[in-house]
């Protein structure tokens, strides 16, 4: 049996690590296709190196484009790979442009699609990720849900009446976090490199287009971070897109801007932080795994269990923390 895995963004590299190991253990051949959506050293290659993910067999080098052009270019290139490789199933992860492009290309060629992290819903159709995950779920043959809430979402949408197999598989991100926490403790040097070993700090990331492309919203986030930084150090690994936008703002001296980090360094930063502030779906879960409270810089989250359980608080434009 041959599985073809579509990857493109940091969260997908993390999720792919335990799945690739499981496929190998079962004797299933895996062909990995990297769309190029995240392409620089700190957003891509380092994850393959650190997490033992097999090197991609194909790198499509599609990046730096708008949603339509990026998805269309990926769809075209993925289709060519599928025609050559003829896999039995295509595996896609999460909710990116790489996800929907991989699912569409496979489905149009009548190849089975497996969606890992199926059933998540933020119920905000203005989010490109919400559109991607809904459409991917609808055309997938195997839906692997990370939570009971995701499972219930699919039931409410009538997926029990659709020809597909739904499984509550648990969260592969938790598998990765458990595996690499001890390794991060041993190998990561980020705390000493950034002189954080004896310092209390808040870990923050911002990258979603709904936050960064809206000048009013992004300005409000920066003003809030500056206010928080009057009381505590903020460590801010900056996504390349966010870095460009931050150049127009004055940041408080206690906001420590650092380049994007690999998974081991990120796990170390999470584990030693006092609080996490983020708009990332993956980092919300990783904060929970590390037993850290999380402030989510969005109106809503697909991880509603964390909010309902009191581990996570979503905030809107007017952000009141302290």
* Cβ–Cβ under 8 Å, residues 96 and 58: no
Q: What gap in Å lies between CA 112 and CA 167, rounded to an integer?
A: 16
CA-based torsion, 181, 221, 213, 120: positive or negative: positive
Structure tokens at 131: 């559109």
Cβ(90)–Cβ(7) below 8 Å: no
**Residues 9, 225 contacting (CB under 8 angstroms):** no
Does the annotation mark 115 as catalytic?
Answer: no
Exactly one of 38, 63, 207, 272 is catalytic; name it: 207
- State the Cα–Cα distance between residues 301 and 298, nearest whole angstrom: 7
Range list of H helices, 90-229 = 97-108, 128-139, 148-156, 172-187, 190-193, 209-212, 215-229
Phi/psi for 194 (5° steps) reads -95, 10
Q: Are 294 and 284 in contact (CB under 8 A)?
A: yes
275: helix, strand or coil: strand
Q: What is the b/e burial string over 15-46, where b = at least 16 CB atoms within 10 angstroms of the residue's CB?
A: bbbbbbbebeeeeeebbbbbbbbbbeebbbbb
Known catalytic residues are 207
């Amino acid at each position: 049996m041959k599985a073809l895995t579509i990857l493109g963004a940091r969260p997908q590299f993390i999720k792919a690590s335990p799945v690739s190991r499981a496929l190998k253990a079962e004797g299933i051949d895996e062909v990995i296709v990297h769309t190029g959506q995240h392409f620089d050293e700190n957003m891509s290659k380092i994850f393959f190196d650190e997490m033992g993910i097999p090197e991609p067999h194909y790198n499509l080098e599609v990046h730096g484009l708008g949603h339509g052009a990026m998805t269309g270019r990926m769809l075209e290139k993925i289709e060519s790979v599928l025609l050559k490789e003829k896999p039995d199933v295509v595996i896609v992860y999460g909710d990116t442009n790489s996800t929907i492009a991989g699912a569409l290309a496979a489905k149009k060629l009548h190849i089975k699609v497996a969606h890992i992290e199926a059933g998540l819903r933020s119920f905000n159709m203005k989010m490109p990720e919400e559109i991607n995950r809904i459409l991917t779920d609808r055309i997938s043959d195997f839906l692997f849900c990370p939570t009971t809430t995701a499972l219930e979402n699919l039931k409410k949408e009538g997926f029990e009446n659709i020809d597909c197999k739904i499984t509550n598989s648990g969260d592969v991100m938790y598998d990765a976090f458990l595996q690499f926490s001890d390794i991060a403790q041993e190998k990561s040097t980020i705390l000493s490199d950034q002189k954080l070993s004896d310092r209390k700090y808040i870990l923050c990331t911002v990258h979603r287009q709904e936050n960064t492309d809206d000048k009013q919203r992004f300005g409000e986030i920066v003003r809030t971070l500056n206010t928080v930084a009057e009381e505590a150090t903020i460590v801010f690994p900056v996504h390349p897109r966010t870095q460009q936008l931050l150049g127009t703002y004055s940041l408080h001296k206690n906001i420590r801007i650092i380049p994007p980090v690999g998974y081991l360094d990120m796990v170390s930063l999470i584990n030693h932080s006092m609080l996490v502030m983020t708009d990332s779906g993956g980092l919300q879960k990783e904060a929970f795994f590390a037993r850290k409270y999380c402030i989510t810089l969005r109106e809503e989250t697909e991880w509603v269990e964390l909010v309902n359980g009191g581990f996570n608080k979503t905030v809107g434009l007017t952000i009141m923390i302290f």
